[in-house]
A and B are shown apart, each in its own frame.
Chain A
Amino acid sequence: MTEHSHLSDMELRVRSLESLLTDKGLVDPAALDAIVDTYENKVGPRNGARVVARAWVDGDYKQWLLRDATAAINSLGYVSTQGADIVVLENTDAVHNLTVCTLCSCYPWAVLGLPPAWYKSFPYRARAVKDPRGVLAEFGQILDDDVEVRVWDSTAEVRYLVLPQRPAGTDGLNEDELAGLVTRNSMIGTERLAGD
């Protein structure tokens, strides 16, 4: 007897949605493949790192970014297709910003790609608000008591991107080299860059 194929419950449900929507002309399988390719290969935290590095080297750009992040980020070619506005939060010696989406997992896809599993998890969503210093400690980030931690809860309309402080001792680096120092977590706020 030849062994037959098996599709999991989720595979069956997704195939059902896709084939019915395709039959009705509501989706185009080739377009779906292009979307997956974009999110797997083309958008990611490197986009956000370029935004941060530009802000570090160009004071005018930084002011624009803090005033109207959506426009300043669009100017670099990174555009949200979800229609959400982005707000950039500047870390300073006195303030550390941490972002979360307590309800679901809103996230600035255009600049950070899709979120890591922990960002989507209930423990992070719950604890980022109730115990931000504890969460930061689990990420290895111990902040001085005099640093204020601000927690920002994303929505479908507004997403946040943290602007980390430029690390000390990087005066000689160019924009590309600086972008290489910017991590995904530093733009979510669960990491402070060396010297940040």
Chain B
Amino acid sequence: MTSAAGSTCGPTPSELPSLPRDEDGPVFQEPWEAQAFAMTVWLHEKGHFTWPEWAECLSREITAAQGTGDPDLGDTYYLHWLKALEGLVAEKGLLTSADLAKRKTAWDRAAHATPHGQPIILPPDA
């Protein structure tokens, strides 16, 4: 617990950016955010990593993003989430980064080969 009343460390309140506010809007801004979230929950439930391991990985990505200039207003949260998940599945040996890169190229090719509005299917040899 931090009893913060009277704290004098760090920047003064006026130097800190204002809070982003929102209504009780949608939980996920885009479907990919929901998929990334669900994969993490599932892999954790199946015992591939502990929740503290996940939280450490996620907070590391958030801190790294801040270091490269992300104002970190909550709207980029799932970008950090996705990067943390990619890192953790590689760290745990579930997938390699090379597998991911190769598959990403295959999906990009498949999208380009698919007329707009049609479902994008990965060719079997991808």
Which residues of A line the B interface, CB within 8 A? 2-8, 10-21, 24, 26-28, 31-33, 35-36, 39-40, 81-84, 103-106, 113-114, 116-124, 126-135, 138, 148-153, 155-157, 184
Smallest CB gap from A121: residue in B: B74
A16 engages B13 (CB within 8 Å)? no
Which residues of B line the A interface, CB within 8 A? 1-5, 7, 9-11, 13, 16-22, 24-28, 30, 32, 34-39, 41-46, 48, 50-52, 54-56, 58-59, 62, 66, 71-75, 77-79, 82, 85-86, 89, 94-95, 99-100, 103-104, 107-108, 111-118, 120, 122
A130 to B14, CA, bound (A): 11
CB contacts (< 8 Å) of A133 on chain B: these are: 5
28 pairs, A vs B, C-beta closer than 8 Å: A2-B115, A4-B116, A10-B30, A11-B32, A17-B85, A17-B89, A19-B107, A20-B103, A21-B89, A26-B48, A26-B94, A36-B34, A36-B35, A39-B34, A40-B34, A116-B74, A118-B20, A118-B74, A121-B73, A122-B73, A130-B10, A130-B16, A149-B4, A151-B1, A152-B1, A153-B1, A153-B2, A156-B54
| Total A-B residue contacts, Cβ distance less than 8 Å | 211
A7 to B86, CA, bound (A): 18
B24 engages A184 (CB within 8 Å)? yes
- CB within 8 A of A4: which of B2, B25, B100, B112? B112
CB contacts (< 8 Å) of B4 on chain A: these are: 128-132, 149, 151
Known contacts: A114-B27, A151-B3. The answer to whether A157 contacts B52 by CB under 8 A is yes
A20 engages B99 (CB within 8 Å)? yes
- CB within 8 A of A81: which of B18, B45, B74? B45
